[in-house]
Structures are given as C-alpha cells and as structure tokens.
Amino acid sequence: MSYWVYIMTNAYKYVLYIGVTNDLARRYQEHKNGMSEGFTKKYNCHYLVYYEEYQMVNDAIAREKQLKKWSREKKYTLIRRLNPRMEDLGIYIL
C-alpha cells in the first residue's frame, strides 16, 4: 500500500496545507469539492501542488511533520523544484 504526503494551496498560491493520506486521488477530490471540513475548506485550498509517495505510513507521517516545521520559503522552494509554475497536479492523479 502507498501513502502520500501532499501540499494543497489556494488560487493565490499563498496558503499552504500539508497532509498525509493512503488514497491521494480520493483525498484530492474531497478537498476540491469542499467535502473536507476545516482548514482547506476555510482557506479554499483546492489545488494540489506537490506530493511524495511512501510505502510505510510511519515514514509518511514523519515527513508530514518535518515539512510542517519548515519555513514558508523552504516549502515553496521544495514545491517549485518539481512544479515551477505551481500548477494543479490533481488532473494527473485522477
């Protein structure tokens, strides 16, 4: 089974949300359709801009915690290394 650490953002690419899931396509749809209560719904984080795959849930959770501690600039550097225009990658995982 795969586990995913992912980063969502809003239309202005200012707000970042970091999460972990075992079904990235389903979780993306939940965020995109406003089915996920809380932070992403409140701040309209509907755009998947980054993700990493892990085989062990503990590794994914550890990475999520690590990324959440990073500065905003370090997170943007990570995202832009693989997704320079911060495009919505959700279309590639559906």
pLDDT in tens, 11-69: 999 999 999 999 999 999 999 998 888 999 999 999 999 999 999 999 999 999 999 99
Whether residue 26 contacts residue 64, with contact meaning beta carbons closer than 8 Å, is answered with no
User: Whose CA is closest to 52, among 7, 1, 4?
Assistant: 4
Contacts of 69-72 spanning 24+ positions with Cβ under 8 A? 72/16
Place of tokens 């755009």: 47
Structure token pair of residue 44: 């309209």
Domains identified in the chain and CATH numbers: 3-93 (3.40.1440.10)
Read off the pTM: 0.96
